[in-house]
Amino acid sequence: MQIFNTINELQKVLAGWRESQQTIGFVATMGGLHLGHLSLIKLAKNQADRVLVSIFVNPTQFAADEDFESYPRTLAADLEQLKKLGVDGIFTPTIEQIYPQGKGFERNQFGEKKYLFEILCGKTRPHFFFGVLQVVKRLFEIIKPDVAIFGQKDYQQLQIIKQFSSNIEIISAEILREKNGLAMSTRNQYLSPDERKIAGKLYEILSQLADGKLQITSAKVALKQHFSLDYLEILDANSLEKISPKTSKIAILSAVFLGKTRLIDNIITEQKFENLGEKNV
């Protein structure tokens, strides 16, 4: 396992892998690794000859009042986990290497797809997806992977990356969950033991909605009994637009707050539009 702190040393090794006709799989992380991250890496190992993981807490996706300074940074533990998995390379750049010309980003370049940045999480975190796309595009520019793996939990992020990364194969990895259904996330570390027990209710209620046991109105009421609700939406999974009779795959997406911790989750289903009923539109 090789650890790269600079772009130059990383690109020299990447060039050698390519000269040997080896494909490169990439997993971008901000560290604080958990079993969900490790599942992405295992999938990458099945998709490519070499696997590179980045660990970089990206400042451009945090607002001024968010947790950039306190975000879990567990590099030593992360490296130990990655060593056990047999990862080929780990890229741990500085902010200056990723953003040598500063952290500004042109937001008016997305045309008709700009709505993807403004819905769902984009309503309450208008900076977030611009920052995510900025760092992903920069990492892709440096690494030029053949395939990159992203988790389904961050479904809106996944769709945005797919739309703006046409030269790289983007593969989605299924959500990995705790025993109570809570989607694994680095920020789950913020939850108290009592909050962790409650947090599983998010997936439970989304599952009841997906199974037709709840309508969207009653699902919102149920969520508000345990959480502060940011949103609950049912959208076309392929476009994140409103569902219609032509919709073939549906995304049930939600974000909630439990105390100070923001949780997101989703269920993707091929259940037909008409089976969900008009009240869910």
* CA 272 – CA 237 distance, rounded (Å): 12
- Which of 34, 37, 127, 226 is an active site residue? 37
* Beta bridge pairs of residue 269: 250
Alpha-carbon torsion (179, 180, 182, 183), positive or negative? positive
Report the b/e string of 250-280 with b at 16+ CB within 10 A: bbbbbbbebeebbbbbbbbbeeebeebeeeb
Establish whether 127 is a catalytic residue. no
For residue 131 the two structure tokens come to: 């920052």
User: What amino acid positions are annotated as catalytic residues?
Assistant: 37
